Chains A and B, each alone.
Chain A
Amino acid sequence: MKHRLRLAMTLFVLLPMYVWAAPVRIGSKQFTESVILGELARLGTQEADSQVRHQRELGGTSILWSALRHGDIDVYPEYTGTLTQELLKGVAPDADIPALRATLKPLGLGITDSLGFNNTYAIGMREDRAAQLGITRMSELAMHPELRFGFSNEFMDRADGWPGIRQRYGLPQTQVRGLDHSLSYRAVASRAVDAIDLYSTDAEIPYYRLRTLADDKHYFPRYDAVFLYRLELEQSHPAFVAALRKLSGRIDEKSMQQMNAEAKLKGAKETDIAARFLGVQTDGDDAGLWQRLLRRTVEHVRLVIVSLGMAVLLAIPLGILAARRKRLGQIVIGLTGILQTVPSLAMFVFMIPLFGIGAWPAVAALFLYSLLPIVRNTHAGLVGIPLELRESAAALGLPSGVRLRRVELPMATRSILAGIKTAAVINVGTATLAALIGAGGYGQPILTGIRLDNIGLILEGAIPAALLALIVQGMFEGIERWLTPYGLRIEARQ
């Protein structure tokens, strides 16, 4: 008794310390530069604070922003332009960092000074073509109406894209084409067009020897790279915040381009790139293929099993209810059907405010997707029992619970199992999206592979996912054979 009390008291004291010592979680967006910046933050602060983790490639801006605000992560790299244009309301479009700091403070968020580069929209030309025409600034484009422009479709349409710069700079060009962004570098390199829009730290700029024209009339908003962090870190992890701030001003545009190029064009690992830049020892994940595969399989299977298990527990009773009460049944099936129509990416994102990021929102989304097939098949299996058999059971004077257990559910076994199988197979596929919100699994290499344009990496996730789906399918067919009552199997054969 005394021991237990002492243990309880120890826990009581230690628990807050544990919370206090919780690791700092850095998040990054789902593109190379953000991942490199995340690694820079982790490696650059690890001496000051050993408890730093980096959750890579969590998703887009909205996911990272809400994760930071909900405290699911503590830090992530952002751009000032994104803050002024998208995230903060009522801020001047050209607000500087001190102004942003003042706006963020009431939200409990802090912002570092600029890391040293501005990753904004820019116009780029082949170095040789620009030199030949003597163009270094955007205003000089106006003197060459014969130039052909190839702009990404988004840039063509945005008011602050082509229509805006044409007006601001008084550009006379008429040969302007919309292109897919990934193609525009090749188009300008092959001289199919003379100028394209680009992001000023794109890896392709040095690779294709492009010249970035100066925005001399300051048309594009600044997209200075910064770290956003939760202000409470200043109390709980002061050394970390100090180390993070020291990264400010250290990364210029050229270095960032270079680092992006190493990752995207040379296939180097973000960790190694960041370590080399900082001059520290890399601690890159050198796990072999099989080890990685095993870890992802565990993550993936866990997502599927937990979500499917919970879905079975709720969906079978719902299916029974639906079969018992016609009106209610239509509502239940309708509602689960509506859930099914929510696009999966949206579903994962909807779960973030409720469950944060990581495995739980993914489990919740997969759980919701699994409901419909199981509810519908349970319902179909039960109402598909011939009326005379249902009445025979009733005529035996058995209460409805006994009828359900002894007669109706066993007869519906096959249909219910088929529903669970469908849910499981869909689940295995959909769970690859869970990597977008930090839940890992087979989706992780797929995401990274898409980002780095690396087919090998994509296959490293896609093939196991397909295999897992097949295994699950096979497994359920076995279970079906095993659980379907013998009498039903021979009946079906006749």
Chain B
Amino acid sequence: MEMVLSGADAAPAAAFALEHVSKRYGSVVALDDISLSMAKGSTTALIGSSGSGKSTVLRLLLGLDWPDQGVIKAEGRALERPHVLALRQRVGYVIQEGGLFPHLTALGNLALQPRYLGWSAARIHERAEALAELTHLPPGVLERYPAELSGGQRQRVALMRGLMLNPDALLLDEPLGALDPIVRHELQDQLKLIFDQLGKTVIVVTHDLAEAAWFAERLILLREGKVMQDGRIDDLRDRPADPFVRRFVASQRRLPEPAA
């Protein structure tokens, strides 16, 4: 009986869920009673202006911060402090400008996690080479220090570091925010390919609507810690749930029409 019941109940557990989560930093409300859930293998973009709370979502999912109220769930299980390290090893995290450690070479950065887990040098090397191929990192770059890398290379290495342990999920916080437009465009293409290829649960935070729509089917627009709209790009554009959504969509600059 029980088996049947639980079976019937179990829509496959969401990869991540927030249930009535609130978080404030001092007097600033970062998240205001928010509930969200991300299905396994889905790609979601969190968008919004600075201070809308979108980065806070990622930080709470990783246990880098804890909600004032509400529950965070990973794979159906409420997040508690003792699980945090294990969870972080199953989730890759990439931030703006990469967050690479300047005293280590690119390879040294990649090796941190696997070395702690007892991988052999050969295995680390092999994995790094495979990821270099996946991210189109030029050969030889792995031996360099972060200060010797271009912005695009740094971002690639950061992504590789997030993928070293072949995690179930990738959380990216403005991963392309610091890049020039050409590199950014190139990396958008590659990231999209990688997301599709790997089939992981991906949450990407960006303030660029076009980038968000390029990466993800599901867009979640946040404002002052509240969800303004949760849907596809067509919904946001054609059926804005709120005047703010209309304004946000309209504020994306387009190239001027060619002169008639």
Q: Which of B7-15, B34-42, B102-110, B186-194 contacts A (4 or more CB under 8 A)?
A: B102-110
A102 within 8 A of B: no
Other-chain residue from A391, A410, A487 in contact with B99 (beta carbon distance below 8 A) = A391
Are A398's CB and B116's CB within 8 A? Answer: yes
Are A392's CB and B101's CB within 8 A? Answer: yes
Cβ contacts under 8 Å, A396 to chain B: 88-89, 93, 112-113, 161
Chain B: interface residue total (CB-CB under 8 A):
27
Cβ contacts under 8 Å, A395 to chain B: 62, 64, 88, 93
Are A389's CB and B99's CB within 8 A? Answer: yes
Are A393's CB and B145's CB within 8 A? Answer: no
Are B64's CB and A487's CB within 8 A? Answer: no
B-contact bits for A401-412, CB 8 A (1 contact / 0 none): 010001100110
Cβ contacts under 8 Å, A392 to chain B: 93, 95, 99-101
Are B101's CB and A397's CB within 8 A? Answer: no
Residue ID in chain B nearest A398 by CB atoms: B116
CB under 8 Å from chain B, chain A span 454-494 = 485-488, 490-491, 493-494
Residue ID in chain A nearest B167 by CB atoms: A397
A388 within 8 A of B: yes
Q: How far is the CB of B254 from chain A (nearest CB, A)?
A: 33
B146 within 8 A of A: yes
Cβ contacts under 8 Å, B64 to chain A: 391, 394-395
Other-chain residue from B59, B86, B97, B100 in contact with A397 (beta carbon distance below 8 A) = B86
A106 within 8 A of B: no
Cβ contacts under 8 Å, A389 to chain B: 99, 101
Cβ contacts under 8 Å, A388 to chain B: 95, 97, 99
Q: How far is the CA of A388 from the CA of B146 in the complex (A)?
A: 15
A288 within 8 A of B: no
A399 within 8 A of B: yes
Are B88's CB and A490's CB within 8 A? Answer: no
B-contact bits for A39-66, CB 8 A (1 contact / 0 none): 0000000000000000000000000000
CB under 8 Å from chain B, chain A span 121-171 = none
With A398-B112, A487-B145, A491-B147 known to touch, is A411 a contact of B88 (CB < 8 Å)? Answer: no
Are A411's CB and B103's CB within 8 A? Answer: yes
Residue ID in chain B nearest A403 by CB atoms: B112
Other-chain residue from A391, A397, A485 in contact with B85 (beta carbon distance below 8 A) = A397
Q: How far is the CA of A332 from the CA of B187 in the complex (A)?
A: 48
A-contact bits for B120-147, CB 8 A (1 contact / 0 none): 0000000000000000000000000111
Cβ contacts under 8 Å, B97 to chain A: 388
Cβ contacts under 8 Å, B74 to chain A: none
Are B99's CB and A494's CB within 8 A? Answer: no
Other-chain residue from B88, B113, B146 in contact with A491 (beta carbon distance below 8 A) = B146
B249 within 8 A of A: no
Q: How far is the CA of A243 from the CA of B135 in the complex (A)?
A: 92
Other-chain residue from B105, B113, B145, B146 in contact with A398 (beta carbon distance below 8 A) = B113
Q: How far is the CA of A491 from the CA of B146 in the complex (A)?
A: 8
Residue ID in chain A nearest B86 by CB atoms: A397
Are B102's CB and A494's CB within 8 A? Answer: no
Q: How far is the CA of A64 from the CA of B62 in the complex (A)?
A: 65
Other-chain residue from A402, A407, A490 in contact with B145 (beta carbon distance below 8 A) = A490
Q: How far is the CA of A427 from the CA of B161 in the complex (A)?
A: 44
Among B93, B101, B116, B146, the most chain A Cβ lie within 10 Å of the Cβ of B101
Are B95's CB and A411's CB within 8 A? Answer: no
Cβ contacts under 8 Å, B93 to chain A: 392, 395-396
CB under 8 Å from chain B, chain A span 399-444 = 399, 402, 406-407, 410-411, 413
B60 within 8 A of A: no
Are A411's CB and B62's CB within 8 A? Answer: no
Are B101's CB and A411's CB within 8 A? Answer: yes
Are A491's CB and B145's CB within 8 A? Answer: yes
Are B103's CB and A394's CB within 8 A? Answer: no
Are A410's CB and B103's CB within 8 A? Answer: yes
Q: How far is the CB of B246 from chain A (nearest CB, A)?
A: 33
Are B113's CB and A397's CB within 8 A? Answer: yes
Residue ID in chain B nearest A486 by CB atoms: B145
Cβ contacts under 8 Å, B145 to chain A: 486-487, 490-491
Among B84, B97, B103, B146, the most chain A Cβ lie within 10 Å of the Cβ of B103
Cβ contacts under 8 Å, B86 to chain A: 397
Q: How far is the CA of A226 from the CA of B99 in the complex (A)?
A: 75
Residue ID in chain A nearest B104 by CB atoms: A487
Residue ID in chain A nearest B146 by CB atoms: A487
Are B85's CB and A399's CB within 8 A? Answer: yes
With A406-B112, A487-B147, A491-B146 known to touch, is A397 a contact of B89 (CB < 8 Å)? Answer: yes
Cβ contacts under 8 Å, A397 to chain B: 84-89, 113
Cβ contacts under 8 Å, B84 to chain A: 397
B-contact bits for A192-205, CB 8 A (1 contact / 0 none): 00000000000000
B68 within 8 A of A: no
B148 within 8 A of A: yes
CB under 8 Å from chain B, chain A span 336-351 = none
Q: How far is the CA of A394 from the CA of B147 in the complex (A)?
A: 21
Cβ contacts under 8 Å, B148 to chain A: 490
Q: How far is the CB of B52 from chain A (nearest CB, A)?
A: 19
Cβ contacts under 8 Å, A399 to chain B: 85, 116
With A389-B99, A392-B95, A392-B99 known to touch, is A487 a contact of B85 (CB < 8 Å)? Answer: no
Cβ contacts under 8 Å, B104 to chain A: 410, 485, 487
Q: How far is the CB of B16 from chain A (nearest CB, A)?
A: 15
CB under 8 Å from chain A, chain B span 36-88 = 59, 62, 64, 84-88
Are A485's CB and B103's CB within 8 A? Answer: yes
Other-chain residue from A393, A406, A487 in contact with B102 (beta carbon distance below 8 A) = A487
Q: How far is the CB of B49 from chain A (nearest CB, A)?
A: 20
Residue ID in chain A nearest B113 by CB atoms: A396
Q: How far is the CB of B119 from chain A (nearest CB, A)?
A: 14
Q: How far is the CA of A494 from the CA of B101 in the complex (A)?
A: 15
Q: How far is the CA of A485 from the CA of B100 in the complex (A)?
A: 14
Are A491's CB and B101's CB within 8 A? Answer: no
Are A488's CB and B87's CB within 8 A? Answer: no
16 A-B contacts (beta carbon < 8 Å): A392-B95, A393-B101, A395-B62, A397-B85, A397-B87, A397-B113, A398-B112, A406-B112, A406-B116, A407-B103, A410-B104, A485-B102, A485-B103, A487-B104, A488-B103, A491-B145
- For the complex with contacts A394-B64, A487-B101, 11 further pairs of A-B residues with Cβ separation under 8 Å are A389-B99, A395-B62, A396-B93, A396-B113, A397-B88, A397-B89, A406-B112, A410-B103, A490-B145, A491-B146, A491-B147
Q: Which 4 A-B pairs have the closest CB atoms?
A: A397-B88, A392-B99, A485-B103, A487-B145
